[in-house]
Structure 1
Amino acid sequence: MTQRGADVLSAKPVIVLAPMEGLVDPPMRDILTRIGGIDWCVSEFIRVTTGLLNRGTIQRIVPELSQGWKTRTGVPVRPQLLGSDVRWMGENAALLASMGAPAIDLNFGCPAKTVNRHRGGASLLREPELLQQIVASVRAATPAHIPVTAKMRLGYSDTAQTLECAAALAAGGASEITVHARTKMDGYKPPAHWHWLARIRESVEVPVIANGDVWTPEDYHRIREVSGCQQVMIGRGLVRRPDLARQIRGLDGADAEMAPWPTLLPWIADFFEQTRARVVDRHAPGRLKQWLSMLGLTYPEAKPVFAALRRENDAEAISACLADLAAGEDQARTLLALPSASALGAA
C-alpha cells in the first residue's frame, strides 16, 4: 500500500447516501439513515425549466425540509437541482437557500434518456462552458455560507472532456465535486473506473467525492486507496445492503457480518407503510418489489418473498404479510397464505 493510500484509509470515514431517481426516495432515506452510519444525503433531483419552483413540488421531493432539511435521525439532506437554464438554476437555488437548505447540489450525472433528451444531467458534460456558467449562476445567487456542490460522470460517451468538465465545475465555484466513475453511455455496467477519480482529484483544488461500485466494506477501503478521496458516496450498495455504512464504520464490531435477514423485516414493513402514505395504493407494491429484487442480490432470503409478492398488488394484503413477517411469523407459511403466492413454490 502506498503512503497516500495509508493516509486516506486512516482518515475518518465520510459516507454519503447517493441521489437515485425512483430508488433513494424519502422513505428509503429515512430507513437507511435510521439504520445508521450515513453522514449526509442528497435528494432526488428537482427539475428546473423556466420559472420558480413552488413549495409543493419541493416538499414532495424533499419532505425533510419541514424538519430543518434533516431526516428524523438528524442526518442533513441537500436538495439537488437539475436543468440547463442558467438564470433559473440560479433563481431556484436562491429560493432553496431562502428556505434554509444546508447546501445546493447540481446534477450533471443523471444518465436517464428522458433527462438527457431535454438537455439535462450527463448530457451537459458535452458543454463544459455551460457547466461553468450554471455553477457560477448558482454560486452568485446563493449566500456564501451555503455550499454549492455538483455531481458529474466521467463524460457523455468517452473521457475526452473529463478533466475539462471537472475544471469548469471548480472554476464556477463548486466547493465539492462528486464523480461517478463511469460515462453516461456506460450506465451502470461494471467496472467503475476508479483510477479516474484520482486523476480528477489531482486536477482540481476542491474535494472530490468518490462514487461507483461500492458494495462491501472492502470496496469502500479500496476506492479510497485508489482514488485518494476521503469521502465516498454510495447508492445501490446501501440499498442492497442497508447496514453497509454501519459495517464500514465498525459500529457493530470489527468482525461483524451483514445484518441477519430477520432484522431487516421490520424495516421493510416500515418502508412499505411509508410508501403507501406517499402514493396511491396501486403504485406502492412496485416500489416494494423493486427493493426486494435488489435485496435478493445480497440476501437469498429475499428471493422467495419477492417471488410470492411478484403478482400481488393488494396493498392491504402485502401490509398484513409484511407485518406478520416482521413479528417473526414463519416466512413460508405467511407467504403461502397470500392470494397470489403460488409463485413461492416455484421460487
Structure 2
Amino acid sequence: MRLILAPMEGVIDHTMRNLLTSLGGLDRCVTEFVRINDRLLPSRVFKRLCPELDSGGRTATGVPVYVQLLGGRPEPMAENAARVAELGALGIDINFGCPAKTVNRSDGGSIILREPERVQRIVEAVRKAVPSELPVTVKIRLGYEDPLLFKDNVQAIGSAGASELAIHARTKKDGYRPPAYWDHCALAQEWLSIPVIANGEIWSVEDAKRCREISRCPDLMLGRGALCRPDLARLIASASADQPVNPLSWQDITALLLDFFEATIENYDAHYVGNPLKQWLVYLRTYYPQAAVLFENIKRLRHVDDIQPHLQQELDRSRCSTLSAA
C-alpha cells in the first residue's frame, strides 16, 4: 500500500508538505498545479511551487515530490514537462481534476474530460517529451457533468502511456459533496494495466479500509483528511501493518502549529503571515474542537508579535491539561 498526499492549491505548499511528511506514512507528494498556457515557463516558476527541486526533488524527510502541470494544449504541456524533467523532478503529474470555475474557464482541469481524445493527446505529448524512466501520472475526476465519458477517459490515459492514474471519485458537478463513488475506481482497475489510486472522502482509518475494499485499489490519495488529521497517513499505514499507533493529541497539534507558523513567517508579507495558519485551523477544527477556539482568538490578528503569543499560550495550556490529567 502507498499513501499519496494530494495537491491542494493555496493550502498544501512546500512548508505543509515538509510538516506532514515528517509525521510518517506518506510515500509521495504532488505540488500545487503549475498553470501552462502557450509558452515555456522559466525555471523559477517551477522552483517557487516546488523548492524541493533544489533538494533532489524530495521533502526534508526524503519523500519524493511530483510536479503537477495544468493546461489544455499538448505542445506547451510537453515543452514545459521537458523543462521540469531537466530541473530534476522525480515525476510529472497532469491535472484533469480541478473543478474550480476560474480554472475550467481558462481551459484547464476537469473541463477537458469532456474531450477524451484531447486528454489522450496531452498525455501522449507529455509522455514523449520526458525520459521514459520518469513517471508521468494523471489525476482525473469521474467526469465533468456526469460519468458518461469516464471509461473513454480512463482508456485514453492508459493508451497514452501514463504510469499511474489517480481518480477523485466524483464528477466536477459533484464538487466535494459526499459520497465519493469508489466503485468507479474498481471499474478502472479492470480497464487498465497501470496502478489506479483512489481518492475522495477518506477521513479515517475506517474510511481507508472501506475505500480499499470497494475500489480494489491498494493505493490511496489523501487530501482534506490529511489536513484535518495531520497523522492520518501514519494511522492508516500502521493499521494496515497491524501495528496501530496512538493518534496525535491536541498538545501534539499545538506544537505543530507553532512550528508551522514559525516556518511560514519568512515566506509571507507581514500583513498576511497568519493566513496559512488560520486556513489550517479551519481544517483542524473538524477533529479538534480546541482549534475552533484558537481560530476565533486569532482570526483578526495580522502580525507575528500578536499571533505568536496566542500559540505559545495554547501550547502551555495544553501541556498543563495533560499533566493535570496524569
Shorter-normalised TM-score: what interval?
over 0.9
Hey, what does 1:5 align to over in structure 2?
A: none
Matched, 1:147 2:125: no
In the aligned structure 1, how far is the partner of 2:256 from the partner of 2:181? 33
Superposed CA offset, 1:170-196 (max 9, x none): 111111000000001111000011111
SS of residue matched to 2:30? strand
Superposed CA offset, 1:238-297 (max 9, x none): 100001111112289845442110011121112112222212122222221111111001
Hey, what does 1:336 align to over in structure 2?
A: none
In the aligned structure 1, how far is the partner of 2:73 from the partner of 2:202? 33
SS of residue matched to 2:274? helix
Hey, what does 1:36 align to over in structure 2?
A: 24
Matched, 1:48 2:36: yes
Matched, 1:266 2:255: yes
In the aligned structure 1, how far is the partner of 2:216 from the partner of 2:242? 26
In the aligned structure 2, how far is the partner of 1:84 from the partner of 1:160? 21
In the aligned structure 2, how far is the partner of 1:244 from the partner of 1:310? 26
Match of 2:301 among 290, 297, 312: 312
Q: TM-score, normalised by structure 2?
A: 0.94
In the aligned structure 1, how far is the partner of 2:23 from the partner of 2:56? 20
Matched, 1:65 2:85: no
SS of residue matched to 1:301? helix
Following superposition, the deviation at residue 118 of structure 1 comes to 0.6
Hey, what does 2:323 align to over in structure 1?
A: none
More moved, 303-312 vs 143-152: 303-312
Matched, 1:200 2:161: no
Hey, what does 1:27 align to over in structure 2?
A: 15
Match of 1:282 among 260, 271, 282: 271
Quote the RMSD (CA, aligned, Å).
Answer: 1.7
Look up the equivalent residue of 1:125 and give its one-letter code.
L
In the aligned structure 1, how far is the partner of 2:35 from the partner of 2:188? 27
Look up the equivalent residue of 1:101 and give its one-letter code.
A
SS of residue matched to 2:131? coil
- CA separation of 1:124/1:293 partners in 2, compared to 1, >3 Å: closer, same or farther? same
Matched, 1:79 2:82: no
1:194-343 matches, cutoff 5 A: 194-250=182-238, 254-326=243-315, 329-330=316-317
Hey, what does 2:324 align to over in structure 1?
A: none
Following superposition, the deviation at residue 332 of structure 1 comes to 12
In the aligned structure 1, how far is the partner of 2:308 from the partner of 2:119? 45
SS of residue matched to 2:62? coil
In the aligned structure 2, how far is the partner of 1:318 from the partner of 1:36? 28
Structure 1 runs not aligned, ≥5 long: 1-12, 334-347
Q: TM-score, normalised by structure 1?
A: 0.89
Superposed CA offset, 1:73-97 (max 9, x none): 0000000000012111001111111
In the aligned structure 2, how far is the partner of 1:253 from the partner of 1:280? 45
In the aligned structure 2, how far is the partner of 1:207 from the partner of 1:169? 12
Matched, 1:190 2:178: yes
